[in-house]
Structure 1
Amino acid sequence: MIKSTQYFWRDDALPFVELRRVVDGRAVCSERHSHDTFSIGTVNGGYSTYWNRGRTHETQAGAVVILNPEDVHGCNPVKGADWRYDMLFVDPEWILDLQIEIDADAAGKFAGFSDTLSHNPRLYDGLSDLADILINQDIDVLGKETAMVSFFGDLHVQLDRRGVLDGGIGSVNDRKMIRVGEYIRAHFDETISLDELARQAGYSRSYLVRAFKKAHGMTPYAYLINCRVQKARHALKRGERIVDVALDCGFADQAHFQRVFKRLMATTPRHYAMAHVA
């Protein structure tokens, strides 16, 4: 286990889940970003600000933060406050399989959750227990996977689901911005021009930038950079060299990659790669 203000836990036998534990988050700050995983975490101490889906919340100990895949968000400590938290990142395909097991009528696409923040003590205690089980070296893979299935099975019935991730989007403008986001995610490792994105939506460049930022909470360029960082995150987990990851993910050099990764992930590529593995 890395002796630090934060560390990451992973296990090759459970490739669908990752845990980030922050024991002193006063300096753990990141810009708005998103993950391609379903993310859920507990605030274990102190205070933080949490921005998601256009709203800012203040969280404190006992809160559960909920993030659907690709939810652009920001979560940073309140100045001077001691902030501690656990965050689980779970493959949405793994959760989808569980959703289908529980509900045979479930759609063939991950059903996102309408909640972004919960103060349910049962949910908080269950997630805290799950995090402790995952990092416990005395518990084998069967015990950890059983705990995962138990918790996320309960989650499926405790939280309100909102169907497919764009199910709550109403306006034509919003739907177009979702499609532009999907286009960026599909082509982020290529050279994309603003003219090209504007043509996808049928808007002018200036209107596209404004509409995209309103819908996603960041500009198209920031969204593309976030996609590259998420690709880099997976490559680092596979043990690829940082310099190779930097170039393969479209960054000018290793130094540029390290600066961007730190801004979005609130940790360095090396620290992230050196996760404690069970």
Structure 2
Amino acid sequence: MIEVSQFWRDPALPFVEARRVGDGRKVCYAAHSHESFSIGVITGGRSTYLNAGQRVEVGAGTTVLMNPGVVHTCNPVAGESWSYLMLFVDQPWLQALGFALPVQTWSRSPVLYQRLLQAFADLFDASVPDREARLAALFSGLPDLLGSSAGVSAEGNPRLEAAAAFIRAHRSDPLSLEDICAACGLSRSYLIRAFRQRFGLTPHGYLLDQRVQLARARLRQGWAIAEVAQEAGFADQAHLQRAFKQHLAATPGHYRNALG
């Protein structure tokens, strides 16, 4: 029987992480983002996919793509069962390949779907030779598999970008909304309204998401959960537990103890 949720990591491939979800009804998310480039396939059922304000229903055979920092959710349609596989790939490794972030957020290409299924099978089998080279070939060929050119969409108001950058730089600190307003030169009311329109989260929600991302990175390095809570700016371990489950649909302990 396929587990409800399982993370996968391998010390031989430290730049990539995978997640296999057998019953997506039990793995539901609040709006969140990732520091890594994320790509996955829906292997069964249907779900509602929201990425950067665009909503689409996706089903088995669909590939979904999430660029770093882009707020998104993917949850089941009316309680229907669904399953999926996800890859989270570190940016420095991709940049070394000359990889450009794609504009597309989803694809129904059967060729891409099959290539990704094979990539997951290769990753999960430590006996497969040249796993890194195979993965590099996949990402080098991704623009052709998507069928269009890659690129990064234009940024919006530079003061909003400055607010987001300030939050990222101070995510472990006890930030107030006034601190963020002072850093970017925007009024409280405008910042709240425009920030949500640009990033899909309020400034406080974005700060919490950034803290979860930092906690995820530290847990991946094997830090103790109590130390992670303090390092990432959470009030205590219970606060980390609640936020982590809300954003990643997994407990910190489940994530930290992932097997290769």
Q: What TM bracket, shorter-length normalisation?
A: over 0.9
Unaligned stretches of 5+ residues in structure 2: none
Q: State the partner residue of 2:214.
A: 231
Q: State the partner residue of 2:7.
A: 8
> Retained in 2: the 8 A contact 1:201–1:208?
no
Q: 1:130 aligns with which of 115, 119, 134?
A: 119
> Retained in 2: the 8 A contact 1:112–1:161?
no
Query: 2:141 matched to 1:154?
Result: yes
Q: Secondary structure at the match of 1:115?
A: coil
TM-score by length of 2: 0.94
Q: 1:210 aligns with which of 180, 188, 193?
A: 193
What's the offset of the Cα at 1:115? 0.1
What's the offset of the Cα at 1:37? 0.1
Alignment of 1:41-52 (within 5 A): 41-52=40-51
> Retained in 1: the 8 A contact 2:143–2:150?
no
Instruction: For residues 77-126 of structure 1, give each alpha carbon's deviation from its aligned partner in whole angstroms, at most 9, with x where no partner exists.
Output: 11231110000000111111111xxxxxxxxxx63211001001111110
Supply the distance in 1 between the matched residues of 2:106 and 2:161 (Cα, whole angstroms). 23
Query: 2:144 matched to 1:144?
Result: no
Q: State the partner residue of 2:87.
A: 88
Q: Provide the aligned C-alpha RMSD in A.
A: 1.7
Query: 2:46 matched to 1:54?
Result: no
Percent identity for Structure 1 against Structure 2: 44
Instruction: For residues 41-71 of structure 1, give each alpha carbon's deviation from its aligned partner in whole angstroms, at most 9, with x where no partner exists.
Output: 0000001111011111111000000011001
Q: Secondary structure at the match of 1:31?
A: coil
Q: State the partner residue of 2:23.
A: 24
> Retained in 2: the 8 A contact 1:16–1:90?
yes
Moved over 6 A (4+): none
Number of residue-to-residue matches in the alignment = 259
What's the offset of the Cα at 1:244? 1.2
Which 10-residue stretch deviates more, 200-209 or 220-229?
200-209
Letter in 2 for 1:182: A
Supply the distance in 2 between the matched residues of 1:244 and 1:137 (Cα, whole angstroms). 32
Q: 1:161 to 1:175 in 2, by over 3 A?
A: farther
Q: Which has the higher contact order (CA 8 A, sep 6+)?
A: 1
TM-score by length of 1: 0.88
Q: State the partner residue of 2:105.
A: 116
Q: State the partner residue of 1:102.
A: none
Unaligned stretches of 5+ residues in structure 1: 100-109
What's the offset of the Cα at 1:162? 5.0
Q: 1:195 aligns with which of 178, 194, 202?
A: 178
> Retained in 2: the 8 A contact 1:26–1:79?
no
> Retained in 1: the 8 A contact 2:174–2:233?
no
Q: State the partner residue of 1:261.
A: 244
